[in-house]
Amino acid sequence: MVTITDISKACGVSRATVSKALNGAPDVSQETAARIRKTAAALGYLPNATARALKMGRSYNIGVLFSDETGGGISHEYFSQILESVKAESERLGYDITFISKDLGRMSMDYYEHAKYRSCDGVVIASADFQDPAIMRLAASEIPTVTLDYSFDNCSSILSDNVRGMEALVRFVRAKGHRKLAFIHGEMTSVTQKRLASFRRTCAELGVPVPADYIRPAVYHDPRSSGLATRALLALPDRPTCIFFPDDLSFLGGMSELEKHGLAIPKDMSVVGYDGIPLSQVLRPRLTTYRQGAERMGTEAARLLIEQIERPDTWLPQQITVEGELLEGSTVSDIG
Amino acid sequence: MVTITDISKACGVSRATVSKALNGAPDVSQETAARIRKTAAALGYLPNATARALKMGRSYNIGVLFSDETGGGISHEYFSQILESVKAESERLGYDITFISKDLGRMSMDYYEHAKYRSCDGVVIASADFQDPAIMRLAASEIPTVTLDYSFDNCSSILSDNVRGMEALVRFVRAKGHRKLAFIHGEMTSVTQKRLASFRRTCAELGVPVPADYIRPAVYHDPRSSGLATRALLALPDRPTCIFFPDDLSFLGGMSELEKHGLAIPKDMSVVGYDGIPLSQVLRPRLTTYRQGAERMGTEAARLLIEQIERPDTWLPQQITVEGELLEGSTVSDIG
DNA sequence: TTGTATGCGTTATCAT
DNA sequence: ATGATAACGCATACAA
């Protein structure tokens, strides 16, 4: 490993001067600076992020937290898109990213401890159980934190426009003439509550009744449970004409259930999803759904976090809502 | 931040003793060790990975490389599964993971330089253009490296059993009576070459002719290009009875093309995919495909890499082939 | 059994 | 404009 000491020897100057030259300090002559940079390049010098972090108290490293337990793992397209964009924006701004988890090897630590252990300058909480005390501890700590799809007091957050998204879907379906709307929802997170409330409110505004039977629980990203919920809906004496699924992937569970009953989409039953992942638009018929701006959410999360890290004095917590977009697809029939 | 110095003051011992006690060194009395650990816990002491890395020359941090350019981004299920399992196994063994990329912020570096900059103890190359000089430099460097789905000399590698997987698919299809097999392949990587060669060899063994027209190029994970290839196949005077797609996702492009032509799967056309991602088994009809052991591949990659890091003296490069599994599905008709 | 001294690679302060 | 020195937090060889 070639260090500034090697360069200082090769150039016949002190280590301090080398450091200054390499960091573009003003108090070093043009010529020496040039000479130093040249030999640094010739020797293949690379700064050592570890030493720099230790000295400066800044690691240029941000933590990313995906707690898999809640099913918000990296392998769901919504989250992997977020991860990818957080990564891209962070790197663009000069930061590396590291995963934060519970329990590293034999040492057991919580999220906060893990982040401190790695000297993360900040953490993006991308998916988590926000009731988990370990998550709350991290969010309340001195470590800059940005949350996605949940808002902690005094933390910045990036929110998907769940209320407007659901409203757009309901209005679209209603405009197609539907008045019997069933809603299968995921676990009762705050996101779910928002979507459900928006569903109910919009239905009320449009004068559409919502029988209790039409609201069914399931699990996000789990086609099986949505399939079961679909089956229950089909068993009702008064079937709905359109089913709202918790997400695009869950719809697939409903799809095969409908098929078993010999029901064609959208002729015999209309459906809508949520998320607008690429998959949904490659299915036939194309799924009617609401595309969340996942890439934009990740980008904004990284941007906001790094801004807070680099300008802590002028920082104020900020909520950014990222708009999505209705994808009309063709899974809602016009029965107007 | 509470350091060993704080503990040493609180306990009235030297920093060295604290360090030893905390690391379970044998040469410190039971009582002092206990006292030190107790106050460490009371003070909320956390080791500083940065300082430790600087001192020990080991960061307990491994790099993971996904070069998005080749379409092997994190948001494809095959790769996100690999990422997830690399992460899980690494953490189990006490290592954090960091993404390695080109160009961090304003400083431009290649993969090798990035890995050194972050003092990675090793790197998992999960998806990359293996002809890229920057990749080759990393693989040939002194940094321990494990590659997936490609084998560099003197590097360990984890390989999916592409040859056997393709053979299994061909034999399955042939056993169903098919003799007109078309093959749509992805970009010409070494993986593609293996699959294509295995396809041809198995066909030859089974006495199945393979007209040049039946081999079509497309792009991995790109339903559109596979859709176009499908269209070309359907335009042939002598249509195949079964189409092999580059991967499960690409099949969706073919699916909608078949639908446009009014062809039902598998009645009018049989199809097989590759990868066996969860999606493929939730489609109806379930896709006939070959499931690659992505989780196992990631786990083995991490295990092998860390073994090399921790026991460099006894290390020898190793190739591990991870078996997959034929998923029969129901997209191949029996025309025996 | 405990403590002293030193250095990992870097930056920052303060002399010169 | 340049250099000597210290410090970041930790682990280790060696001395006591």
What is the full DSSP assignment across A39-75? HHHHHT----HHHHHHHHS--SEEEEEE-GGGT--TT
Question: Are residue B100 and residue B21 in the same domain, yes or no?
Answer: no
Residue A329 lies in a domain: no
Nearest-angstrom CA–CA distance, A216 and A239? 13
Are B66 and B74 contacting, i.e. CB atoms less than 8 angstroms apart? Answer: yes
Mutate to test the interface with B, among A50, A106, A111, A303 (most CBs of B within 10 A): A50
Q: How far is B200 from chain A (nearest CA, A)?
A: 30
Strands B289-291 and B325-327: antiparallel
The minimal CB distance from A91 to the residues B84, B101, B284 is found for B101
Question: Are residue A206 and residue A245 in the same domain, yes or no?
Answer: yes
Q: In terms of pLDDT, which residue wins out, A67 or B202?
A: B202
Kindly determine whether the C-beta of residue A42 is less than 7 Å away from any atom of nucleic acid strand C. no
Residue B329 lies in a domain: no
* pLDDT, tens digit, 9 for 90 and up, residues B167-190: 999 999 999 999 999 999 999 999
User: In which residue are the tokens 């030893």 written?
Assistant: B20
Residue A190 lies in a domain: yes
- Stated as kind and residue range, the H or E segment containing A157 is strand A156-160
Question: Are residue A172 and residue A288 in the same domain, yes or no?
Answer: yes
Residue B19, Cβ neighbours under 10 Å: how many? 16
Question: Are residue A95 and residue A171 in the same domain, yes or no?
Answer: no
For residue A45, what are its two tokens? 């010098």
- Chain D positions with any atom < 7 A from a protein CB: 1-13
Residue A333 lies in a domain: no
Helices (H) then strands (E): counts for chain A:
12, 12
Q: How far is A250 from chain B (nearest CA, A)?
A: 10
The minimal CB distance from A47 to the residues B95, B117, B279 is found for B117
Is the bond preceding residue B237 a cis peptide, omega within 30 degrees? no
Are A145 and A152 contacting, i.e. CB atoms less than 8 angstroms apart? Answer: yes
* pLDDT, tens digit, 9 for 90 and up, residues B318-328: 999 999 999 99
Which of residues 43 to 62 on A have a Cβ less than 7 angstroms from any strand C atom?
Answer: 45-48, 51-52, 54-56
Residue B224 lies in a domain: yes
Q: Give the chain B residue whose CA is nearest to the CA of A58.
A: B50
CATH number, domain of A247, equals 3.40.50.2300
Residue A198 lies in a domain: yes
Q: In terms of pLDDT, which residue wins out, B15 or B72?
A: B15
Give chain B positions within 8 Å (CB) of A256: 282, 284
Q: Which of the four pLDDT bands, split at 50, 70 and 90, describes residue B70?
A: low
Amino acid (one-letter) located at A221: H
Question: Are residue B136 and residue B223 in the same domain, yes or no?
Answer: no
Contacts of B283 (CB under 8 A, 6+ apart): A252
Q: Is this structure's pTM higher than 0.85?
A: yes
Phi and psi torsions of A24, nearest 5°: 65, 35
Question: Are residue A278 and residue A221 in the same domain, yes or no?
Answer: yes
**CA atom of B129 to C1′ atom of D11, Å:** 40
pLDDT of residue B71: 62
pLDDT of residue A73: 81
Question: Are residue B18 and residue B108 in the same domain, yes or no?
Answer: no
pLDDT of residue B308: 98
Residue A299 lies in a domain: yes
pLDDT of residue B49: 98
For residue A39, what are its two tokens? 């030999």
Question: Are residue A65 and residue A40 in the same domain, yes or no?
Answer: no
CA proximity to A304, closest of A127, A95, A164: A95
Residue A52 lies in a domain: no
Q: Which of the four pLDDT bands, split at 50, 70 and 90, describes residue B99?
A: very high
Range of the domain at B117: 61-160+295-324
End-to-end CA, chain B: 73
- Stated as kind and residue range, the H or E segment containing A320 is strand A319-322
Q: Which of the four pLDDT bands, split at 50, 70 and 90, describes residue B284?
A: confident
Are A148 and A82 contacting, i.e. CB atoms less than 8 angstroms apart? Answer: yes
Number of domains in chain A: 3
CA proximity to A62, closest of A97, A93, A110: A97
Largest CA distance in chain B: 90
Residues 231-290 on A with a CB inside 8 Å of B are 249, 252-253, 255-256, 259, 279, 282-284
Is the bond preceding residue A223 a cis peptide, omega within 30 degrees? no
Question: Are residue A235 and residue A224 in the same domain, yes or no?
Answer: yes
* Percentage with pLDDT > 90 across chain B: 93
User: In which residue are the tokens 């809508």 written?
Assistant: A272
* Percentage with pLDDT > 70 across chain B: 99
For residue B142, what are its two tokens? 């002194």
* Mean pLDDT split into 10-residue runs, chain A, 336 residues: 96 96 93 96 97 98 87 83 96 97 91 98 96 97 97 96 98 98 96 98 98 97 96 98 97 94 97 94 92 97 98 96 98 94
Question: Are residue A115 and residue A88 in the same domain, yes or no?
Answer: yes
Question: Are residue B274 and residue B308 in the same domain, yes or no?
Answer: no
Question: Are residue B14 and residue B27 in the same domain, yes or no?
Answer: yes
CATH number, domain of A31, equals 1.10.260.40
